Amino acid sequence: MKTMRTLAVVGAGVGGYLLFSSKGKEMIQRVTQMFNSKKDEPLMVKTGNPDPKDIGDNNMVSEGAMYSVNYYNKQQPES
């Protein structure tokens, strides 16, 4: 309970600093511009539909798939 209260006070302090200092305001503006930028729009079109010729993306997808399969196999009781 004390830990949660401490984290809340620290979070409020950091949030207050970011909202009221000029450096914090600049950082918040940069972060919001990154989220609002349209340069990543092609990534959203590509999401869930990997190009067969994009080897790096396909390797990442296959590694992710193998992680879940290996986890499932480890959870199964041996017969």
pLDDT digits (tens, 9 = 90+) for 10-27: 999 888 887 788 887 888
Is the full-model pTM beyond 0.75?
A: no
pLDDT at 5: 92
CA distances from 48 to 30, 45, 58, 59, 74 (A): 28, 8, 11, 14, 27
